[in-house]
Amino acid sequence: MERKAGMLIHRQGELSPEAKAAFAEMDRERAEAQRQLPAIRAAGLEALKHLLPIAQGSSGQCRHVAAFLLGLYNGNRFKFDLTEFRCLDRKIFNDCMAVLAMDYQPEQEVQGYFEDGGRVWEQLAKDWNITDYSRPPSNGKK
């Protein structure tokens, strides 16, 4: 036997019992994740419906929720600092986690759950003056 990529493989190319057990465990985990997916998506969508009005509001937490939603919308353009979660109350934080869990295996982009969602998300960026990192920095020159 030889060690290859952290697993025991018999010289004939046959997987060792340890490797077979590891693959079986991965299959069980994958099946369980698939079983849980409908509930995760339902909880995430419900949470997303709570978060968007908050992001469109005017309290101290609203900007942080908007930044989170924009990060999911386009993480390259809108960077989200994870320490912003510390500014949220527990319920809003939990809603963010539910949306993040839903977005881990998305059926569609977060803005796609809302009519004209792309425009709504772009408006969040404007309303909260969230930096769009795809645009060159403004240096005052025209």
Provide mean pLDDT across the span 24-31. Answer: 91
Mean pLDDT of the chain: 90
pLDDT of 38 strictly over 90: yes
pLDDT of 140 strictly over 80: no
- Judge whether 46 lies within some domain: yes
pLDDT of 128 strictly over 60: yes
- Judge whether 135 lies within some domain: no
- Judge whether 68 lies within some domain: yes
- Judge whether 41 lies within some domain: yes
- Judge whether 96 lies within some domain: yes
Alpha carbon distances (Å) from 137 to 75, 121, 128? 17, 21, 17
Q: Is the dihedral of CA 106, 107, 111, 113 positive or negative?
A: negative
Provide mean pLDDT across the span 16-31. Answer: 91
pLDDT confidence of residue 142? 46
Q: What confidence tier does 15 reach under pLDDT thresholds 50, 70, 90?
A: confident
Distance, in Å, from the CA atom of 21 to the CA atom of 19, rounded to the nearest integer, reads 5
Domain residue limits at 62: 17-127
- Judge whether 4 lies within some domain: no
- Judge whether 24 lies within some domain: yes
Look at 5 and 119; give whichever has higher pLDDT.
119
Nearest in space to 54 (alpha carbons), one of 30, 76, 87 = 87
Give how many domains the chain has, as a whole number.
1
Q: What is the pTM of this model?
A: 0.79
Provide mean pLDDT across the span 22-34. Answer: 90
Q: Give the pLDDT confidence of 76-123 residue by residue, as tens digits.
A: 999 999 999 999 999 999 999 999 999 999 999 999 999 999 999 999
